[in-house]
Structure 1
Amino acid sequence: METLRILHTNDLHSHFEHFPKIGRYLKKAQADTSVDEVYTFDAGDFMDRSHPLTDATEGQANIKLMNGFDYTAITIGNNEGISNPHWVLEHLFDHAKFPTILANLREEDESMPKWAVGHKILTTKKNTRIALIGLTAAYPMTYGPNHWHVKMLGSTMDQELAKIKDQYDVLILLTHVGLKMDRWLAKNYPQIDLIVGGHSHDLLAHGEKVNRTWITQTGKWGNYVGDIHVELEDHRVTKIVPNTVATASMPAKPEDEAVIQGYYDKGKKLLSERKVADLPEKFTDDKVAAVQVSLDAIANFAKTDLAILSSGLFLTPFKSGVLTQYDLQNALPHPMHVVRSTLKGSDLWRLVMEIEKNRHYLDHFHLQGMSFRGKIFGQMYYKGIKVDMRKRIVYVNGSEIDPEKEYQIACLDHYVLVPFFPTLAIVGENEFLFPQFLREVVGEYLAKKYPLSSRSEVND
């Protein structure tokens, strides 16, 4: 008999507050001599630019810390693949000490990214051949504008399995596709022994078995670590026992808090040194002023007269005086991109009616996911649009909307994804604008509109 221990994480999202405990747990488990082999995997979204240190280092701090976790292999999530500009992802793994397994992403010329392989064959000490295949969420609408070609899961699996035919005894997938798609993979590819998954933030405390395939996920943010026991006979899996361990149950050390705070302070220091603009007095503690100038910013970026934004995006107002990248990151931590949506006048009217219908509900609606890093959705604000709800008339730049005319409006990918404004997703011709994301767009606009004076550059 042969025994394996498989440790795994997913959706860490730069929650560095758990890293000291996770690091110690992994190190101890990796030294386990009661089993024949220990492997450690991550299933993506290990970085999140809402943390100052990740943002300041473009993920390199994450790679350095993950090197200390001694991963056998990882795959990437949408936070690595979409929230980063193409060139950042190209160099994200320059100093990684682990391989990145990713079968369904290509450069625009259809070549494999230089930092990834579609599959990898591991050979245990007892000569069992373990094939790893990595898959990430297939989002062509957002990977495409970022100059990547993302491939569908089924065709990718068919091609990758053909490449490794007769070369493996055990098949393990590292996936960042969500539980629903993991179940689909398990049903359609029964040769899969184990799926180490992520993306949907499901906690499968003891795994989920679909036919003969085990699926595992550890929730989100490093709240749990996966720990799987595997038994084999004659190089074939006979038993898989998935388990998860709560990070809160792991022993803390007195120095942990200082280490965790140090990560934040280092990121804050780096971002605070990068000055953006010199804002006038009107921005002091005025969130509406921040929203209004950000409406101007995204409209300018998208080259439109119209724009919409929600107040819940702004976790803090801007301030008067020198605004730094840290101030912007603190106010707008969301990895969202601007979208230019083209709508007929009748459809734009309908979108405005959807906004007005949901306005009071959304004002205090607690929202999670879809790139949102705040707490509540908040109030919707318009640029170039006014509404007379008593008469149900929408005015665009002072004139009543023309039902047959085409209009372009700047919004966010977030609004295309949330279910409150279906008109955008159903009939909008949506162009996702890359590579800058929201706070970068706002920062570039503020830098031009309120440039740093020589006094502020020297004195602040």
Structure 2
Amino acid sequence: MRLKILHKNDIHSNFENYKKIVTLINLQKDEDTIILDGGDFADFKSIELQGTRGMAAIELLASAGYDAITIGNNEMFNGIDTLELMASSSPIPFISNNLLKKDRSSINGVKPSVILEKNGLRILITGSSPDMGVFNDGLGIHMTDYSKAIKEEIYKNKGKYDICILLSHIGTFADESLAKEIKEIDIIISAHDHKLFEQAKIIDQTIMNSAGNYGEHIGIMELDILDGKVHLVHSETISTKDIKESEQIESILRFNKERAIEALSKPLYTVEHPLWHDVVEENPISNLIADGLKDMLGTEIGLINSGICNAGIFHEMTQKKLIEICPSPLNPTSFEMQGKYLKEALEQSLDAQICLADGRGPGFRGRFVGRLHASGLQIEHDGKKIHAIYVNGDLLEGERWYMVGSSDYLQRGSGYPCLMNNRNEKYLAEEIKDVLRLYGEKQDFCEESFLHRWKEVSKVRG
């Protein structure tokens, strides 16, 4: 018996490439084909998804004839209510065997596994989602042990299927261990760590493949199933670079973008004075976020990198502009840090090359790292070195631990590695864009954002 699997993973709402993927799907699929997704299809940086609460993603998947998708971390990032709406409205099974609500109840529409039939072949498909650790509570979710959950689904469906496929959003390293540990898994579609396999791997008779990320490739596996054994006949990952875009997907995107823009264009507030933005120079919009973080988290210091924003606010703010200005799904985070590491990071921030470095990191949707902006600090410098830092009027002490309100990006040391030297971190479920949404309409905070926190020594001391 023949089976062909077309698969992709970690699209992250790169819909320009998805148009090409659907063209390839239509060229490659036949009567023996199933189409699978390894998760992180829906990244809510997308206007189309934000403005339709994820329903545009369902239309896009359904139009290409997908058979199943597992839930990645990005499908969770817009909240449990949005995930429930997507999963319960989708004709395509949303699968996760280890994802529950915080109260341990099931999520409406999410299935731990499904059995598909293709030309008489019974295919058990189960999927595992990544544990978000300290973020679970804020996201309103509870994660169980994925290895145990996979075994439970296999045991529960014993005798009901011919082959077993795991859609795994755990990562390839973990999947290799699963292939060795759970012999009943015949095929693993691997995701989460964005690995690109040129062709499928075979690990202890389990076939494993991953198609990279961002829709730049699609994976293909052709299989023969004989006497209950799965044999790999052919596999490859095909680049989408030179593929024609699907007009059908373009039409769906255009319709949903119009619908989303209408929903997201209602005014939130207006600002009296433009809150302009700059990657290297101190600017009011970054100061506003730092001030908002300090206030929201109740800390001594607020700290943010200007690369978190792509632009400023010049008059009217809408939800659409908010997403465009601050697309990164990063969380307000408090932690304790010694003064010496704060000083080190702030001094590095005087270097324009560090500010203009690639800001790539988990959850970051900007381009550059950007300059550090602070609340509760006065920083005296000469353009290259810091001469003094005052914390709410008192001189910064190198060995003292300070409470800092920031983002999980900086807390992890992204952009400024010395900032990872912290302790007692706590995360909020809100995102940094919510700081702009809440504090941008507060006149006193907007006025305060224009007060400089970085002062050159010549200007301070004459």
Could you say whether these structures have the same fold, taking a TM-score greater than 0.5 normalized by the shorter chain as the test? yes
Cα shift readout 1:178-220 (whole Å, capped 9, x = no counterpart): 2222222223323322111221122212123333222212111
Work out the CA distance in 1 between the residues paired with 2:250 and 2:100.
41
Q: In the alignment, does 2:330 pair up with 1:336?
A: yes
Please give the residue correspondences for 1:2-81 in structure 2 after superposition, counting only pairs within 5 Å: 2-30=1-29, 32-33=30-31, 37-81=32-76
**Structure 2 partner of 1:362:** 354
Work out the CA distance in 2 between the residues paired with 1:393 and 1:447.
33
Work out the CA distance in 2 between the residues paired with 1:281 and 1:230.
63
C-alpha displacement of 1:166? 4.4
The share of aligned pairs that are identical, in percent, is 24
Work out the CA distance in 2 between the residues paired with 1:418 and 1:112.
35
Read off the aligned partner of 1:317 and give its amino acid letter: G
Please give the residue correspondences for 1:117-156 in structure 2 after superposition, counting only pairs within 5 Å: 117-126=111-120, 128-156=121-149
Read off the aligned partner of 1:115 and give its amino acid letter: G
For residue 238 of structure 1, give the secondary structure of its aligned residue in structure 2: strand
For residue 248 of structure 1, give the secondary structure of its aligned residue in structure 2: coil
Read off the aligned partner of 1:371 and give its amino acid letter: G
Cα shift readout 1:238-283 (whole Å, capped 9, x = no counterpart): 2253222222232346898777666555544442x22122112342
Cα shift readout 1:118-150 (whole Å, capped 9, x = no counterpart): 122233433x33221201111221122222111
For normalisation by structure 2, the TM-score amounts to 0.85
Larger deviation, residues 400-409 vs 363-372: 400-409
Shift in alpha-carbon separation, 1:54–1:223, aligned structure 2, 3 A: same
C-alpha displacement of 1:232? 0.9
Unmatched 5+ stretches in structure 2: 446-462
Work out the CA distance in 1 between the residues paired with 2:256 and 2:115.
35
The answer as to whether partners of 1:53 and 1:263 remain within 8 angstroms in 2 is yes
The answer as to whether partners of 1:278 and 1:450 remain within 8 angstroms in 2 is no
Read off the aligned partner of 2:362 and give its amino acid letter: M
- Aligned pairs, number: 437
Read off the aligned partner of 1:368 and give its amino acid letter: R
Read off the aligned partner of 2:298 and give its amino acid letter: K
Shift in alpha-carbon separation, 1:74–1:253, aligned structure 2, 3 A: closer
Please give the residue correspondences for 1:236-251 in structure 2 after superposition, counting only pairs within 5 Å: 236-251=229-244
The answer as to whether partners of 1:286 and 1:318 remain within 8 angstroms in 2 is no
The answer as to whether partners of 1:351 and 1:421 remain within 8 angstroms in 2 is no
**Structure 2 partner of 1:456:** none
Shift in alpha-carbon separation, 1:154–1:354, aligned structure 2, 3 A: farther
Work out the CA distance in 2 between the residues paired with 1:375 and 1:151.
35
Unmatched 5+ stretches in structure 1: 452-460
CA RMSD of aligned residues (A): 2.8
Which one of 152, 156, 161 corresponds to residue 163 of structure 1?
A: 156
Q: In the alignment, does 2:269 pair up with 1:274?
A: no
C-alpha displacement of 1:415? 1.8
C-alpha displacement of 1:71? 1.3
Cα shift readout 1:6-59 (whole Å, capped 9, x = no counterpart): 1112111112213333333324444x14xxx22111111111222211121221
Please give the residue correspondences for 1:174-323 in structure 2 after superposition, counting only pairs within 5 Å: 174-252=167-245, 264=257, 266-271=259-264, 273-284=265-276, 288-319=283-314, 321-323=315-317
Shift in alpha-carbon separation, 1:99–1:416, aligned structure 2, 3 A: same
Please give the residue correspondences for 1:93-132 in structure 2 after superposition, counting only pairs within 5 Å: 93-126=87-120, 128-132=121-125
Read off the aligned partner of 1:281 and give its amino acid letter: H
Work out the CA distance in 1 between the residues paired with 2:78 and 2:37.
19
C-alpha displacement of 1:157? 3.0
Which one of 342, 346, 352 corresponds to residue 342 of structure 2?
A: 352
The answer as to whether partners of 2:22 and 2:246 remain within 8 angstroms in 1 is no
Which one of 376, 382, 407 corresponds to residue 384 of structure 1?
A: 376
For residue 95 of structure 2, give the secondary structure of its aligned residue in structure 1: coil
C-alpha displacement of 1:76? 1.1
Shift in alpha-carbon separation, 1:350–1:173, aligned structure 2, 3 A: farther
Work out the CA distance in 1 between the residues paired with 2:386 and 2:441.
40
The answer as to whether partners of 1:202 and 1:218 remain within 8 angstroms in 2 is yes
